[in-house]
Amino acid sequence: MTSLAQQLQRLALPQSDPSLLSRDEVASLLFDPKEAATIDRDTAFAIGCTGLEELLGIDPSFEQFEAPLFSQLAKTLERSVQTKAVNKQLDENIKLFLIHLSPYFLLKPAQKCLEWLIHRFHIHLYNQDSLIGCVLPYHETRIFVRVIQLLKITNSKHKWFWLLPVKQSGVPLAKGTLATHCYRDLGFMDFICSLVTKSVKVFATHPGGSAQLRVLLTFYASTLVSALVAAEDISDNIVAKLFPYIQKGLKSSLPDYRAATYMIICQISVKVTMEDTFVNSLASQIIRTLTKIPSLVRDGLGCLIVVLQRQKPESLGKKPFPHLCSVPDLVTLLQRISETHDVGPLLRYMLPHLVTSIIRHVTGEEAEELDGQTCRRLLEAVLSSVPLKSGLDHLLARYPRTLDAVLEEHLKEVTDVKKQELFHQFISLSTSGGKYQFLADSDTSLMLSLNHPLAPVRLLAVNHLRNIMETSQESIDESFIKEAVLTRLGDESIDVVLSAVNAFEVFKQHFSSEVTVSNLLNLFRRAELSKNRGWYKVLEIAAGILTREEVLRGNGQLSDQVVVHLLPFMVIASDDAESPEVKMAVYLSKSGICSLHPVLRGWREALENVIKSTKPGELIGAANQKMIELLADNIKSGDPSSMLKMVEDLISIGEKEPCSPKQKVTFHVVLAVLVSCCSSLKETHFPFATRVFSLLQKKIKQLEGVITTVEIPSEWHPELMRDRGIPLELWAHYVEQLRAAQSMAVEDAVLLVFSLKNFIHALKRPKSFPEGGAWWNPERLQEDGRGYLRLLLGLFEVVLGAADAAHFRVLMKLFVKVHLEDISQFFRFLSVLWTYGSSLADPLSCKVTAALQTQALYVGRVLLSSQEAPCRHQLASASSPVVPSLLVSLGSPVKEVRRAAALCLQALGGAASHFHLLVQHLVAKAEETTSDATYVVQDLATLFEELQREKKVKSHQKLSETLKTLLNCIYSCPSYVGKELMKVLREVNSEVCPFRATVLSQLLPMIEQLLDKIQKEPTAVLKDEAIALHLSLGKYNEYSASLLHKDPKSLDIFIKAVHTTKELYAGMPAVRITALGKITKPFFAAVSDERVQQKLLCVLFDLLVNCKDARCAQTVSSVFKGISVNAEQVRIELEPPDKTKPLGTIQQARRQKMQQKKSQDLESGQDVGGSYWQRVTLILELLQHKKKLRSPQLLVPALFSLLSR
């Protein structure tokens, strides 16, 4: 190709590309070019819109592109004929869209959107840079290759010509090739960097922007670092190109962007030597921006250390130093970094400035921006925790002349002899004080000896420190002593810890109670008496300090904390009285903690009696059982508020996963205590019992696979029925298995079974819980009643879920015997399980799943089948909730629930009751009901329609009684059951004997009650009640319209509903909207009394006048359009409200005419008020849109009358 041809090709516009005129092949990302040619614009538009909708579900920010790129206007836009300004705006929208799209490029919805942009806007020709920027992070994928194959890059002068091999071969772009091109082509390097800055700017204020940038920033870091590694020589041009972007990265608040920048800085520092001014600027900026992202402070320090290590600048100056000192936990971070890396380069900068700042502080020349005390603390922390290498450990000896000069100048100013003597004492103390004094046996200072790597040296130092404290021979800073003692309490050597705890005892008055408790309890957390007997002496001293009255006096929170942490050491886990565990338990029982805390009151005497009276081999079980009884009794008899806090602490022990044998035993002891103190002799504390049961349930679920398969011998089954603690033999066997280091899942499972048994016994029915009645209504129960019922549901679910195991079947018998022994109570409980899943208000704050509902139905079926005929008659009667509950279950959307409910009805089939015909009918249609969730609704409508045509009086009466009983249930049952019954009966509109009353007449009391409740306490209306009200208003239809003139109360209630404006729940229409919607054409026509029709019209028009709600006005308008109205009815509504009636005498007529004349003079002819004209105007507006009006000629005189006024 000639040079002229190449120039002409570069000047050619994209719209002149021959491919745009081709009809055989069309560029496409998702389809073959020939297949894409057959796709019309509407199909491509639909593909793009589908992709956009799916992306909107992931990221709502795509909504901004719907109008410019995915609208009907965009569908017809042809960019080749648009102005430059329009195309420029289009390019900006496409560029921004592709930046937003890049994080989701591999998702199918994103590719659908690209397909539309390629098809409609030809972005592969017009927006190549933006398109490549979108897909470049995915250069190793096949879909990237597909995009590159769409580009026209065959010209060797083209910017993206280097990607031609990818297009031709179809092989993804290799990482090495990308890195090589990056350092060879600075334009491409700039393209990547600017792509990142643009994307960061776009996503900076976007929620979740950091996550959306992660792919791009990973690509950015890996590409640039790889390019810098691959480059043999990094030129100044490369550094100059990258430096502005490095500065932006350091200023950014995005963690991934900052981390990528740190990586690039480190690689540049390793590969090239930079000028000092450049290094100083770079290091200063790193220091100043360190604290902006707390999670990357350590990474920033690491980057700074690499820069200082590889570049070795002479000095960074003073300005960055205050910023460096302000970094939180600076020394801690340096200490951690020093464990694996050399922090010397940074310390070489820090330490001289720290020493200089301290000297200036002493001489009174302290800088404003830096506190000398802060520098002193930093220096001490560095010297005590960061190892000094490469000559840094002799830093303090490098400034002797400066120190001498400062001291000499100050001494010249002191003339008083006594002051001079004190100054000399100060010099002596500061230069050869206790903590810097060399120890004779270790040839190093006390401070360094306390941190020496050898345990014997540390032990010597702690002993020396304790000797100083006891004799007060030397003056040492109190804070140094406290810090040294507390640090050595955490030592790895038990000998050092023992010496430190002795030192703590000597110096204990200098520690606060909180510090004492916190640090000494840490010793108990670390101690392992069974593995190292040396811990016994340490813990004995620590316990002696902890349990003293002066430490815990008046601080209940600390006392609770101590008891909770010492309790595992008070539990007996060995039969050997001489073992360190038992000795520690005995020691703690005799310590002050048992007298200081009420929960342990009497434990000393109780343990002594157990040890004396127990046979060998029974100590573990007897002691732990006694502890359970004593702790539970103390908690139940103690002050409720303080004991409740203690219980919470015990629960926190139970919630932690036990690891050591002692913790495992303690867990079961604590769980047994919690279960025992759930209830006193008379009642249960249900909030507490609920917490305990949730803990028990959680542990049982963790061992679900074991607890159902473990075999508990049948001779133990009677023990599961008895109301007493865990058998002593189980305790002994449990500890024996622990000591044998066996897997404890089986033993844990057995103990949990017995704890569950004890919980069933411990739970007591509250006095407020109903004894009789047809329903257990969670909505009307008191708080204790709800707690009790919630726990019954939870227990039933746990026990029934493992009923395959024989021991759980025993527990089910126990559960029924203790709580549901009466069969009618059992079925009230089952009715809750059958129906509670439909409750929206959830008064019990628990969930009944469809699986549990199904299981409960099968349990009900078995029970019903096993009952005698009289009992089944009683369960099928109107006083029992069984039949209504099963009817609700038949309407369930879950097939298995419907199947189980049908089987229950089959078991109930022969029972004589008001529901006999209904049950018999439903049993016959069981197969259809099971198959189709909506069948029961249609079937009941068909069944009760027979009331209209049933010839047999007896059958008619029975069906009528059945329907009446069901409708009465709606009024008396829980609202969620009533709601579901209304759904099941929504197609039933039959009349009910003996008074030919409608379904609506039976529901009026409930509707009225709910409307009153909405007016008085709208917030107390449950969502189920609100839905039941809306469903009940649905019974105002053409079948019940005649009731409005037969029973005026029904009309009053309807009008009351129309005036109820409250929107009870989001997404649910106001009651008035639902009521207005019932005034349909069939309903209005079925109202035979014209006075009732007139009343309804009057209400509609009045509502229109007074209503300020647009939706209400629109509904009234729609209602009026839909109903068939007589013009006479409208005429009546157009009459003024104060129109006088014809007068009987001539004298009265004259008097009226005189009054009218006076009023015309006074009011200038205004004979009615403004509200009347507003009403008239609105009625006339409605008439304008009314297509049909019966007898319209009757309206003409009224209209002329209006005009005459």
Q: Is the pLDDT of residue 134 over 90?
A: yes
Q: Is the pTM of this model over 0.75?
A: no
**Where a domain ends, among 994, 1027, 1049?**
994
Could you tell me if 32 and 136 lie in one domain? yes
**What pLDDT does 741 receive?**
63
With 90 as the cut, is the pLDDT of residue 895 above it?
A: yes
The separation between CA 722 and the C-alpha centre of its own chain, rounded to angstroms, equals: 42
Same domain, yes or no, for 836 and 930? yes
When pLDDT is averaged across residues 339-354 and rounded to a whole number, the result is 85
How far, in Å, CA of 1131 to CA of 188, rounded?
Answer: 83
Percent of the chain with pLDDT over 70: 87
CB atoms within 10 A of CB 1039: 19
- Is there a single domain that holds both residue 1037 and residue 1104? yes
Average pLDDT, integer, range 307-315: 81
557, 601 in Cβ contact below 8 A? no
φ/ψ of residue 998, rounded to 5: -90, 170
User: What is the structure's pLDDT at 1?
Assistant: 46
| Residue 1005 pLDDT exceeds 50 | yes
Q: How many CB atoms lie within 10 A of CB 279?
A: 20
Question: Exposed, middle or buried, 439 (CB in 10 Å: 0-12/13-18/19+)?
Answer: middle
Task: Provide the token pair at 406.
Answer: 């400062």
- Whether 1167 shows a pLDDT value over 80: the answer reads no
* Domain membership flag for residue 744: no
Q: Are residues 157 and 40 in the same domain?
A: yes
Residue 69 has pLDDT above 70, yes or no: yes
Rounded Cα–Cα distance for residues 726 and 718 (Å): 13
Same domain, yes or no: 962 and 1107: no
* pLDDT band for position 338 (cuts 50, 70, 90): confident
Token digits of residue 217: 């920033």
Q: How far apart are CA 221 and CA 227, in angstroms?
A: 10
What's the confidence (pLDDT) of residue 1153? 53
Per-residue pLDDT tens digits for 361-372? 776 665 556 677
Cα dihedral 1001, 1006, 1009, 1014 sign: negative
Please state, in angstroms and rounded to a whole number, the distance separating the CA atoms of residues 564 and 680. Answer: 22
Going by pLDDT thresholds of 50, 70 and 90, the confidence category of residue 13 is very low
Please indicate, yes or no, whether residues 901 and 989 belong to a single structural domain of this protein. Answer: yes
Give the residue from 381, 410, 429 where a domain finishes. 429
Q: How far is CA 808 from CA 301, 713, 722, 749, 1055, in A?
A: 60, 13, 14, 12, 57
Q: What is the pLDDT of residue 914?
A: 80
**How does pLDDT run across 801-813, given as a tens digit for each residue?**
888 888 899 999 9
Six-digit token string for 1151: 């008097």
- pLDDT class of 354 with cuts at 50, 70, 90: confident
pLDDT above 90: residue 198: yes
- Domain co-membership, 898 together with 986: yes
Band of residue 894 on the pLDDT scale cut at 50, 70, 90 = very high
Helices within 638-743 (DSSP H only):
640-655, 661-676, 686-702, 704-707, 717-721, 728-739
Q: Predicted confidence band at 566 (pLDDT cuts at 50, 70, 90)?
A: confident
Phi and psi at 842, nearest 5°, equal 50, 60
Whether residue 1193 is found in the same domain as residue 1101: no
Q: Can you tell me the distance from the alpha carbon of 1039 to that of 1082, in angstroms, rounded to the nearest whole number?
A: 9
pLDDT at residue 854, rounded to an integer: 94
What is the three-class DSSP state of 1126?
A: strand
Residue 603 lies in a domain: no
The H-or-E segment that residue 992 falls in is strand 991-992
The helix (H) or strand (E) run that includes residue 998 is: strand 997-998
Instruction: Measure the CA–CA gap between 487 and 510, rounded to whole angstroms.
Output: 15
Tens of pLDDT, residue by residue over 664-708, are 888 888 888 888 888 775 677 888 888 889 989 998 898 888 888
What is d(CA 768, CA 782) in angstroms, rounded to the nearest whole number? 7
Q: Which residue has the tokens 């602490």?
A: 649
pLDDT score of 794 more than 90: yes
In tens, the pLDDT along 729-771 reads 888 888 887 777 666 788 888 889 999 999 999 899 998 888 8
**Do 945 and 840 lie in a common domain?**
yes
Domain that holds residue 404: 399-429
Q: Is the pLDDT of residue 1130 over 60?
A: yes
Rg (CA), the chain: 44
Q: What's the pLDDT score for residue 345?
A: 86
Q: Mark whether 1203 and 1148 lie in a shared domain.
A: yes
- Residue 880 is assigned to a structural domain of this protein: yes
Residues 876 and 1020 in one domain: no
Is the separation of the CB atoms in 837 and 849 below 8 Å?
A: yes
Q: How many Cα atoms within 13 Å fall on the side-chain side of residue 915?
A: 31
Beta bridge partner(s), residue 679: 684
**Hey, what are 65's tokens?**
């592109």
Q: Does residue 93 form part of some domain?
A: yes
Segment 558-581 mean pLDDT: 83
Give the pair of three-digit tokens for residue 87. Answer: 């195309």
409, 429, 449 - which closes a domain: 429
Give mean pLDDT, residues 541-567.
80
Minimal CA–CA distance to 375: which of 348, 357, 395, 389? 357
Claim to verify: residue 968 and residue 1076 sit in the same structural domain = no
Greatest mean pLDDT among 100-114, 639-653, 897-911 lies in: 100-114
CA distance 238 to 189: 9
1124 phi, psi to nearest 5 deg: -95, 115
Residue 592 has pLDDT above 50, yes or no: yes
| Cβ atoms of 918 and 943 closer than 8 Å | yes
Taking the C-alpha atoms of residue 442 and residue 465, their distance in angstroms, rounded to an integer, is: 14
Element (H, E) at 997: strand 997-998
Q: Label residue 400 exposed, middle or buried (CB < 10 Å: 0-12, 13-18, 19+).
A: exposed
Q: What is the pLDDT of residue 738?
A: 75
Confidence of residue 452 (pLDDT cuts 50, 70, 90): confident
Chain centroid offset of residue 51 CA: 29
The encoded tokens of residue 772 equal 């009789």
* pLDDT single digits (tens) 226-243: 999 988 888 888 998 999
What average pLDDT does range 206-214 have in this prediction? Answer: 81
Lookup: tokens for 409: 């100048």
Residue 318 · residue 350 · CB < 8 Å: no
Mean of the per-residue pLDDT values of the chain: 83
What is the model's pLDDT at position 367? 59
Q: How many independent structural domains does the chain possess?
A: 5
In a domain, 614, yes or no: no
**For the ranges 365-374, 653-662, 1132-1141, 1176-1185, the one whose mean pLDDT is highest:** 1176-1185
The amino acid that residue 785 corresponds to is G
The per-residue pLDDT for 448 is: 72
- Which of 11-20, 246-255, 1004-1013 has the least mean pLDDT? 11-20
Q: Is the pLDDT of residue 258 over 90?
A: yes
Q: Secondary structure of the chain: what % helix, strand, coil (to 5)?
A: 70, 0, 30
Asked if the structure places residue 892 within a domain, the reply is yes
With beta carbons less than 8 A apart as the criterion, state whether 1032 and 1058 touch. no
Residues 6+ apart with CB under 8 A from 710: 746, 749, 750, 805
Instruction: Identify which of 98, 162, 166 has the alpha carbon closest to the alpha carbon of residue 132.
Output: 98
- In a domain? residue 595: no
* Cα–Cα distance, 430 to 825 (Å, whole number): 85
- Spatial distance between the Cα atoms of 776 and 839, rounded to a whole number of angstroms: 14
Instruction: Give yes or no for residue 1157 having a pLDDT over 60.
Output: no
pLDDT at 244 over 70: yes
Q: What percent of the chain has pLDDT over 90?
A: 28
Condensed to tens digits (0 to 9), the pLDDT of residues 1080-1112 reads 999 998 888 889 988 998 888 888 888 877 888
What value does the mean pLDDT take over residues 481-485?
Answer: 85
Question: Stretch 541-565: mean pLDDT, rounded?
Answer: 80
Q: Residue by residue, what is the 3-state secondary structure of 825-892?
A: HHHHHHHHHHHHHHCCCCCCCCCCCHHHHHHHHHHHHHHHHHCCHHHHHHHCCCCCCHHHHHHHHHCC
Q: Is residue 143 part of a domain?
A: yes
